[in-house]
Amino acid sequence: MTQVFGHNYIGGQRSAAGTVILHSIDASTGEALPQAFYQATAQEVEAAAKAAAAAYPAYRALSAQRRAQFLEAVADELDALDDEFIALVCRETALPPARIQGERKRTSGQMRLFAEVLRRGDFYGARIDRALPERQPLPRPDLRQYHRSAWGPVAVIGASNVSLAFSTAGGDTAAALAAGCPVVFKAHSGHMATAERVADAIIRAAEASGMPAGVFNMIFGAGVGEALVKHPAIQAVGFTGSLKGGRALCDMAAARPQPIPVFAEMSSINPVIVLPQALQARAETVARDLTASVVQGCGQFCTNPGLVIGIRSPQFAAFTEQVARLIGDQPAQTMLNAGTLSSYGKGLQKLLAHPGIEHLAGDPQAGNQARPQLFKAQASLLVDGDEVLQEEVFGPTTVFVEVADQAQLVAALNGLRGQLTATLIGEPADFAQFGELTGLLEQKVGRILINGYPTGVEVCDAMVHGGPFPATSDARGTSVGTLAIERFLRPVCFQNYPDNLLPDALKNANPLRIQRLVDGRPSRDGL
Amino acid sequence: MTQVFGHNYIGGQRSAAGTVILHSIDASTGEALPQAFYQATAQEVEAAAKAAAAAYPAYRALSAQRRAQFLEAVADELDALDDEFIALVCRETALPPARIQGERKRTSGQMRLFAEVLRRGDFYGARIDRALPERQPLPRPDLRQYHRSAWGPVAVIGASNVSLAFSTAGGDTAAALAAGCPVVFKAHSGHMATAERVADAIIRAAEASGMPAGVFNMIFGAGVGEALVKHPAIQAVGFTGSLKGGRALCDMAAARPQPIPVFAEMSSINPVIVLPQALQARAETVARDLTASVVQGCGQFCTNPGLVIGIRSPQFAAFTEQVARLIGDQPAQTMLNAGTLSSYGKGLQKLLAHPGIEHLAGDPQAGNQARPQLFKAQASLLVDGDEVLQEEVFGPTTVFVEVADQAQLVAALNGLRGQLTATLIGEPADFAQFGELTGLLEQKVGRILINGYPTGVEVCDAMVHGGPFPATSDARGTSVGTLAIERFLRPVCFQNYPDNLLPDALKNANPLRIQRLVDGRPSRDGL
């Protein structure tokens, strides 16, 4: 049995100076697990931020190759975690072992993909404009630009719902470490033991690969995230969680003497638009696949489809009934923790209490499991931007909306706030008829899917897991995929620098053999 | 004589509904120019924001090629402005015709460079991860990403000091229009007639190239910027000006129900570090060139060197005396306007009143011109982060700091806040001895120069005119150079999209012949 100590990690050392004791909960039984976790004191939060700041100059000075080796060492350590670890995660989250094994693979794969990005070198965005000494009326100096970490430590505040891939060694941590920023991770109270085992793995990897102490730090506790975000050493924040929590962090960060960016992934209802010809051709399949996406993982995904829109027709009415039957047949599932279950209950109450919303399927919420539910809302609620439809109800439920016609569909989509995803279910004839939808959705969402379902977020170069507010606090970024590294980079320009003083990425000979923009043309050659 | 009407531009129409009348000032004589300018009413601010929002869907839907043609038409219109226009700008700014002609060329050149970027297509950042239908345990869908405007209208708040290149048709306007965002420009009170003539040129170009009405709007008035930034239709802000003004806008934007990004270029003292061997080799040349940079354009550049650091030695003492003599010999110059002159006077007063700062050269400030000044501050003020040395004094003055040794130099640089630029003046032996400076300055500034002077900001691909707070509000961006377009773009991902529905940048055949990242490798080919 690998021991869990419940200590904070500061500068590579364990620390347990506090007196506030927290306990992790068995998500299925609701019982407290025996291990005590020590909430970080104000001094420990400060020490963690300072340890990260102290590690920063040494860490940022390492070559991309060295950082890649570190990330790969983390990946190897994650993959080496034993069955006892998987059982522990399952206990804290009530998720099945297969899901956790898959998520672990995704998490280590994510680390390896960022290592690949570091070796590939496109993240440098290297640009060279050579001197034009003869230019009139003034010569042009030699100017060279690349992207690098110049932020300092990043605070990462983990999600409740994805205890590995969006948590301790998750996407934000991976992107920040890849960029060259040390991390202070604030563990979620929902899976503290998991967090400790993963932090152990990161620390082992850091030591084995000769990283500076303080490259990764972790603190436990309620409210410690606030102190962290306000600490002057912290230079950026990654967050996955609720709109309320994310917005509070953004406000705090903006009010600092030195404001810092917050990359918060917050709230999305992920509309699915079911077009007429698709219903003619394959209503049953769509109903089955959509229902599966709604209840997958007990609906606890950022990209869970919370809104389904169709155009009034006998086919859409039949389809609605079909989905109602399927949702009604879905079993209750255990949620991640009591807080999530309670939020789900409150979200359902709001829908049930709204005069413009009808309950179509699902047993009344009761007991300690979430019961899948289906609702139907009047289209006017969407067109008029009614709050209740814009709010994410985190759990296995979705709301159907029947619009009168194509014009009302467009009006309803225009009424939506920013989203992580939007999905079109249609046949070629639908896309010909509804050609304006892509351009419209491009203004609203980070990812548009055709004939797929938004749950399942691939980690790759082309993924965008982001979108306009309130989906995220900064639509220019993504928190999944390799582009996520850009959130923690900034451009630096060198003017008239002698070749030997330039970073390798910008040297004449192009020793890293990376792609560069030289005098406006892409090149992998030396100068 | 081309008439100036003093009207706001809203949706391509003139509008003068207000009763608050403003006058532009002859910068040399202080006299009001005859033309009345109509401050925009609250309704006009609203109408301008809405006109831009109404233009957005049509403008963003235009191909990059069409937007490039529009920018080139603006460039042609700017170049065609007559000598009367040049005389008008000189009158409003007290700058010499050669400077204005040069700046006009820079402004039209900037528009043409963004047109080139639009045709080149690297701004798309196109990435394609092809489907892997056989992958286990789950297939990978086809995922494609590109960058495009998905922000809506941009509010641009112009600078006082660069009445063409950072103003009506300046860098922020060019970048926003290139990205596909309509602009509402808030004209600076210091050059309203200039702004109107330039706005006329943009409107003529918009009409000639078939752009939607409302692609460019302009409003006059004090305080109207605030209403603009708070308007729900505005989705991003570009600003060049003071730290106080920029910070106020950032706070407003962050407090909106839907927060929006502000790209504010604010305050920088642009340290110049003069290393020992350079003083041995060429103290006189350095003194002359440095002085020229300090007084260039009456010190009214964002990159004016406001701080000069050297290591204590007889050579540095002699160099300081030399610069004092040169600064003492510089003539008084007319500043842009009375407000700038008054701020300069107040800034000097703060330096004069500080017990740790000594006045070395310059006649007492008096009359309606700015007199060049030289100061010397104790090194401890920098090391301890004293406010007075961190604040930009906008005008022809600089502060010398003599540090005891290399260690104190590093401590002093660590004490600096974020800067647009830092400059190293040195010989090869200096750079060998002071090898840590590049890594240190990379954490503080946007552009590092060797043996040059920071005034003069080249418009090119590799330029970075940005830097950590308080130099700018967002160190990930630049407000000069082609990378500036990225501030107004965001990534959008398409999953499983049929080829015919994809944007051209992501189609299999690569009809735009742009560089793309395909399955992790750069490619200009079709799939």
- Find out whether B190 and B394 touch, Cβ atoms under 8 Å: no
CB-CB: which of A143, A478, A487 is closest to B460? A143
- The SS3 call for residue B77 is helix
Q: H-helix or E-strand containing B399? A: strand B397-403
User: Which A-chain residues 457-476 have CB contacts (< 8 A) with chain B?
Assistant: 458, 460-464, 466, 468-470, 473-476
- Sequence-ordered strand ranges (E) for A195-296: 216-219, 236-240, 262-265, 271-274
Looking at residue B471, what is its pLDDT?
A: 97
Q: What is the pLDDT of residues B271-315, one digit of tens each?
A: 999 999 999 999 999 999 999 999 999 999 999 999 999 999 999
Q: Is the pLDDT confidence value at B1 over 70? A: no
User: B457-467 pLDDT, tens per residue?
Assistant: 999 999 999 99
For Cα atoms B65, B71, B73, give the angle at the middle one, nearest 5 degrees. Answer: 105
CA B441 to chain centre: 20
Judged by a CB distance cut-off of 8 A, whether residue A494 touches chain B is yes
Q: What tokens were used for A272?
A: 């699915």
- Asked if A466's CB is within 8 angstroms of B491's CB, the reply is yes
Coil, strand, or helix at residue A358? strand
State how far residue B450 is from chain A, nearest Cα, in angstroms.
6
Mean predicted lDDT score pLDDT of chain B:
96
Taking CB atoms and an 8 Å cutoff, what residues of chain A touch B470? 258
In angstroms, the CA B449 to CA B437 distance is 12
* Helices within B183-275 (DSSP H only): 192-208, 224-230, 243-255
Count interface pairs A-B at CB distance under 8 A. 214
Min Cα–Cα distance to chain B from A34, Å: 36
- Kindly identify which residue of chain B lies nearest to residue A484, measuring between CA atoms: B491
Cβ-defined contact of B520 to A489 (cutoff 8 Å)? no
Q: With a cut of 0.95, is the ipTM above it?
A: yes
Question: What residues does B109 pair with on adjacent strands?
Answer: none
pLDDT value of position B439 = 95
Residues 347-366 of A with CB under 8 A from B: none
- Out of B122, B250, B442, the one facing A254 most closely (by C-beta) is B250
What residue in A sits closest to B256 (Cα-Cα)? A251
Cα separation of the two ends of chain A? 58
| CA atoms of A64 and A178, how far apart (whole Å) | 8
Return the pLDDT at A276: 98
Q: What is the DSSP string of B302-338?
A: TT---EEEEESSHHHHHHHHHHHHHHHHSPPB--S-H
CA neighbours closer than 13 Å in the CB half-sphere of residue B323: 34
Q: Which of B57, B473, B475 sits opposite A150 (nearest CB)?
A: B475
Compute the nearest-CA separation of A17 from chain B (Å): 31
DSSP B219: E
Residues of B within 8 A of A476 (CB-CB) are 261, 476, 486-487, 489-491
pLDDT of residue A1: 67
| Contacts of range A240-243, beta carbons closer than 8 Å, 24 or more positions apart | A240/A157, A240/A158, A240/A159, A240/A162, A240/A166, A240/A170, A240/A172, A240/A264, A240/A265, A240/A302, A240/A479, A241/A157, A241/A159, A241/A160, A241/A265, A241/A266, A242/A266, A242/A267, A243/A267, A243/A391, A243/A392, A243/A470
* Distance (Å) from the alpha carbon of B24 to chain A's nearest alpha carbon: 32
Q: How confident is the model at residue B150 (pLDDT cuts 50, 70, 90)?
A: confident
Report CB contact under 8 Å: A522, B122: yes
Q: Find which of B154, B390, B464, B506 to mutate to test the A interface (most A CBs within 10 Å of its CB).
A: B464
Mean pLDDT in residue range B255-275: 97
Binary contact (B458, A490; C-beta < 8 A): no
Contacts of A140 in chain B (CB under 8 A): 458, 460
How far does the CA of residue B421 sit from the closest CA of chain A (Å)?
A: 9
What value does the mean pLDDT take over residues B479-500?
A: 98
**From the list B116, B449, B464, which residue is nearest A491 (CB)?**
B464
Q: Does A428 touch chain B (CB under 8 A)?
A: yes
Interchain CB distance below 8 Å, A258 and B451: no
Is residue B498 within 8 angstroms of chain A, CB to CB?
A: yes
What's the pLDDT score for residue B188?
95
Name chain A contacts of B466, Cβ cutoff 8 Å. 490-491
Are A242 and A473 within 8 A, CB to CB? no
Most B CBs within 10 A among A114, A128, A460, hence the mutation to make, goes to A460
Is the CB of B443 less than 8 angstroms away from the CB of A60?
A: yes
Longest dimension (CA), chain A: 80
Active-site residue, selected from the candidate residues B265, B298, B392, B402: B265
Per-10-residue mean pLDDT of chain A, 527 residues long, equals: 91 97 94 95 98 97 97 98 96 94 96 98 97 94 94 92 93 98 96 97 98 98 94 97 95 97 96 98 98 95 96 98 98 92 96 97 93 97 90 95 97 95 98 96 97 95 97 96 98 98 98 97 95
* Minimal-distance CA residue of chain B relative to A139: B458
Restricting to A residues 148-207, those with a Cβ less than 8 Å away from any Cβ of B are 148, 150-152
A297 touches chain B (CB under 8 A): no
The distance of A19 to chain B (nearest Cα, Å) reads: 36
Chain B contact for A261 (CB, 8 A cutoff):
yes
B120 at interface of A, judged by CB pairs closer than 8 A:
yes
Contacts of A60 in chain B (CB under 8 A): 439, 443
Is residue B493 annotated as a catalytic residue, yes or no? Answer: no
**Contact between B448 and A140 using a beta-carbon 8 Å cutoff:** no
Are B464 and A492 spatial neighbours (Cβ–Cβ below 8 Å)?
yes
Please tell me whether residue A69 adopts helix, strand or coil conformation: helix
Residue A391: predicted pLDDT = 87
Catalytic residue among B181, B298, B302, B392: B302
pTM as predicted: 0.97
Label the pairing between strands B419-425 and B13-15: unpaired
Residues of A with active-site annotation: 265, 302
pLDDT of residue B161: 85
Residue of chain A whose Cα is closest to the Cα of B59: A439
Minimal-distance CA residue of chain A relative to B495? A449
B427 catalytic per annotation: no
Evaluate whether A201 touches A108 at the Cβ level (below 8 Å). Answer: no
Mark yes or no for CB contact B491/A478 under 8 Å: yes
Asked whether A112 and A72 are in contact (CB, 8 A), the reply is yes
Reply yes or no on whether the pLDDT at B398 is more than 70: yes
DSSP-based three-state secondary structure for A227: helix
